[in-house]
Chains A and B, each alone.
Chain A
Amino acid sequence: MNEGAFEFRSKMRALTDGAVTSLAILATVLVIVPLAVIFVHLVYKGAASLNLAFFTQIPKPPGEMGGGMANAILGSAILLALASAIGVPVGIGAGIFLAEFGRGSKLANAIRFTADVLNGVPSIVMGVAVYALVVHPRIGFLPFTGHFSAFSGGVALGIMMIPTVCRTTEEMLLMVPNAVREAALGLGVPNWRSVLSITVRTASPGIITGCMLAFARVAGETAPLIFTAFGNAFWSSSLNRPIAALPLQIYVYALSPYDDWRRLAWAGALVLIVLIVMAVSLVRYVTSRGVLKGAS
């Protein structure tokens, strides 16, 4: 190979390298810019639409100005409380089983796989399943079943929380050093006490983080609520009746032909985003501090 060809190839290689670097930077800019635009647009539109009435009033009839989403905020709070009451204990319990009792066993592997499957089930399918199980069941005498209800919406969201809570609980418990468990058992503490007061306690910041992540995830879920909680234009706090929910209201209002309802949709979106950003930032803060700081 003569000198010139070598020079040429080196130049080409340097050029390719430069081109790829610029392409990667371009891709990053192309991704960051629209995402930042979405975010800024949401905050801008939402802030312009938000007022006190949003938090204190229920929706006005179509065409009338004003009104708010107070009933939807209450509804979301009730749905999320019910979901957490189902998803958190079951998820933590399953996580404890995976990390403390079933480590490496076939059953644990099967459960872990099933949790991942459940995590991947599209939320709309969860809605269909809960509709079949709770809203329109084959056995008709159970309480809360047989019609659209807050209860069915809470069940759908609760089931969706389980896999996230379970897997983070397991991960966090696995990070607790064995010496801590042995120390507790060495003092003659019964196993259940050791698990609950020592291991789970040590990992609790991480476990709470997982619960909050799951909470933030289902807080914005709309699809499973369309034919379970169904939505409601009036105040309702009964578990036995259809109930309004913030994401559901945003969906309905966004597609409505009334400008004032669209305004409320933007305001609702901002409230939801603020809630989720707070949860995610808190999670990041807690995890960056180190999950097991308290233990060392």
Chain B
Amino acid sequence: MADRGFHWLMVVCALSIFGIVVLIAYELVLRSQLSWHAFGLRFFYDSFIDPDTHQKSYWDPVNGHFSAVPFVYGTLVSSFLALLLAVPLAIGVAIFLTEMCPKVLRGPLAFLTELLAAIPSVIYGLWAVFVLVPLLREQVNPLLAAGLGWTGFFDNSNPTGLGFVSSGVILAIMILPIISSLTREVISAVPHSQREAVLALGATRWEMIRMGVLRNARIGIVGAIILGLGRALGETMAVTMVIGNSPEIHRSLLATGSSMASVIANEYAEASSDLHLSALTEIGLALFLVTIIVNACAQVLVWAVTRGAPAQAH
């Protein structure tokens, strides 16, 4: 009797996870109905003409016009910028730690990455606001504008230093530990016989890494990168603090913008109307769906490499 009761209690706990996810999805869908009925799919690709200024506008809580385009753009640009900066470094670190690093350093470095993954987003944001943004504004942005200004992507007319570049850099710092530790895991799962076989043919260490390790681990590494992307897409606080929060689309990466997560963080508590709240919820729903898909893809790819491989002792 007690046995069955205990069994069912555990089943209820397990099913509650299922219930929570379904409930979240259901509420998000329900609460975004208003915005969905008002704008439909155009919410994600269209813009409006502001009746007062006769200019293109995307997000106008006063007149009740909403379009998620600038936020989708901001999220994509800052996340891809972050990947661009983080991926080569993360893979370099993972290769160094698994294939080259002296054993003495391995433990402390792994611990450091663990620690950095645990630092809350708001603290990265705090550091970015007071250290990173001034640094970029004074030193880096003028250089980018001078060297690459002709492309149009680095037009430095924004004096604050806030914007896509700042949020891309802080996001890169934040997702580095995740990508590199997962890549490390994937690389460690490649059997030693692969390395030995390539070495036996007279390969140098780099040739061994390229042919014996990276070729076998590449699917898992792509998975690690996608998981990092998933993290970057949903990252809220640090981005909100440095992206500048303007619902506009600029070609320049040095301009301010806004991301899907940051607009929710900024406006949700003070939404001016039901439609405004509903539009923000729809952005949340989109974020929810996208991160689920991205994370599921990443899991499948990482499993493809690590499944079956014994956990390696450090």
Contacts and interface: CB of A to CB of B under 8 A. Distances in A.
B127 A223 contact: no
Contact of A262 (B30, B130, B235): B130
Interface stretch (B53-61, B92-100, B139-147): B92-100
B287 A122 contact: yes
A21 B206 contact: yes
Interface in B209-245: 209, 230, 233-237, 241
Contacts, number: 249
B126 A265 contact: yes
B206 A230 contact: no
Contacts of A121: 21, 24, 234, 288, 291-292
Interface string A116-131: 1110111111111101
Given A90-B13, A93-B10, A221-B120, A192 B27 contact: no
**Chain A residues touching B, majority SS:** helix
**Chain B residues touching A, majority SS:** helix
A104 to B, nearest CB: 14
A211 interface: no
A132 B205 CA distance: 56
B236 A122 contact: yes
B265 A226 contact: yes
Interface string A42-84: 1000000000000000000000000000000000000000000
A63 to B, nearest CB: 20
Contacts of B115: 39, 277, 280
14 contacts: A16-B204, A28-B97, A32-B109, A42-B127, A91-B13, A92-B13, A114-B18, A123-B236, A125-B284, A222-B122, A223-B236, A255-B241, A265-B126, A273-B119
Interface of A: 13-14, 16-17, 20-21, 23-28, 30-32, 34-36, 38-39, 41-42, 89-94, 96-98, 100-102, 107-108, 110-111, 114-118, 120-129, 131-133, 159, 162-163, 166, 190-192, 195-196, 216-217, 219-223, 226-227, 230, 247, 250-251, 254-255, 262, 265-266, 269, 272-273, 276-277, 279-280, 284
Interface of B: 2-3, 5-7, 9-18, 20-21, 23-24, 27-28, 30-31, 88-93, 95-97, 100-101, 109, 111-112, 114-116, 118-127, 129-131, 173, 176, 180, 204-207, 209, 230, 233-237, 241, 261, 264-265, 268-269, 280-281, 284, 287-288, 291-292, 294-296, 299
